[in-house]
Amino acid sequence: ARPTSVRIVEVGPRDGLQNEPGFVPVAAKVALIDALAGAGLKVIESGSFVSPKWVPQMADTAEVLAQIDRREGVRYPVLTPNLKGLELAIASGVEEVAVFAAASEAFSARNINCTIAESLTRFAPVLDLARAQGIAVRGYVSCVLGCPYQGEVPVAKVVEVSQALVAMGCYEVSLGDTIGVGTPDKAKAMARAVADHIGVQRTALHFHDTYGQAIANVLACLDLGIATVDAAVAGLGGCPYAKGASGNLATEDLVYMLDGLGVETGVDLDRLAAAGRAITAALGRSPASKVAQALAAK
Ligand code: HMG
Ligand code: MG
């Protein structure tokens, strides 16, 4: 059954901004994160401790974390692909990190320069150190509904990688439709297979909106009882290692739908849309979200 409330993981400051062609100043990132917290978001992915050669846009994550106004009850997780990343995250005082694997070998090689098996081996000490420090770890699986390099991705592989992440201590697995190719029946079947193995409460959705299917895919999966959904304000973003992948599901579109369904989010849509207008103005464009455009025209 559909959940009565949904926990939104806002990924705009990370997934959204990691792919920007131009330099986004620290002050603009900080203002965005603070505005998102002001809109009521309780989990705001705020950056990545990854190689600055691979993803230059996230090279200033330590400065961003030092300057945000950390609110009580709000988490500001970051991506950490290896121990070096976790050590830097610890130095920045984070309470939560995320490791990221893929269900496609070709994508794993391009995104993190190793096989899926090697990535899991590399995450084990990250999980161990995080546990010792009392830091929660989320796991991502990319390419759950298709891969830009290999095409079809078997559901069994998504289940296998998800189970491995939970077995090593991830409290939740976020299922990434990295290139937004999924459609509702396929998304639901994939999410059900994963939830049957790791539990519905450990399953999260992370759908990119490349083909305009993300909101429909979320709705289909909500009916399974999944209650954690990732989204990016203004539909920012894309993945630097997934050419053609557009932004995530826009947070405004998600909140508008959930409001209409009577599903609680704790997010104020007008303040959220204002945060999206401010960051897109700083980037020199307008929000990709239909809901944001409609609200701006009112
Ligand atoms: P590598 O080149 O194989 O690793 O990269 P390495 O250990 O040989 O390190 C290379 C250089 O990077 C060295 O520096 C390291 O010190 C440095 P050098 O000696 O050349 O000066 N380095 C680091 N620097 C800062 N922080 C670190 C770090 N680690 C190494 N943590 C590596 C392997 C994983 C590091 C690299 O491939 C990488 O950083 N990849 C990140 C890719 C990325 O961030 N992708 C986007 C996020 S994933 C995503 O968007 C999908 C998601 O949204 C879900 C979905 O939509 O599907 C999550
Ligand atoms: Mg993503």
Burial label, 156 (beta-carbon count in 10 A; 0-12, 13-18, 19+)? exposed
Q: Is the CB of 241 under 6 A from ligand 1?
A: yes
What distance in angstroms lies between residue 81's CA and the mean position of ligand 1's atoms?
A: 6
CA–CA gap between residue 248 and residue 107 (Å, rounded): 18
Q: Is the CB of 239 under 6 A from ligand 1?
A: yes
ipTM of the complex: 0.98
Q: At what angle do helices 184-198 and 155-167 cross, to 10 degrees?
A: 30
Residue to probe by mutation, ligand 1, list 48, 51, 113, 142, most atoms within 8 Å of CB: 51
- Which tokens go with 109? 């090689």
pLDDT in tens, the chain (298 residues): 999 999 999 999 999 999 898 889 999 999 999 999 999 999 999 999 999 999 999 999 999 999 999 999 999 999 999 999 999 999 999 999 999 999 999 999 999 999 999 999 999 999 999 999 999 999 999 999 999 999 999 999 999 999 999 999 999 999 999 999 999 999 999 999 999 999 999 999 999 999 999 999 999 999 999 999 999 999 998 656 666 668 999 999 999 999 999 999 999 999 999 999 999 999 988 898 999 999 999 8
Q: Is 172 helix (H, G, I), strand (E, B) or coil?
A: strand
What is the model's pTM? 0.97
Q: What single letter denotes the amino acid at residue 137?
A: V
Taking a C-beta distance cutoff of 8 angstroms, is the pair 176, 137 a contact? no
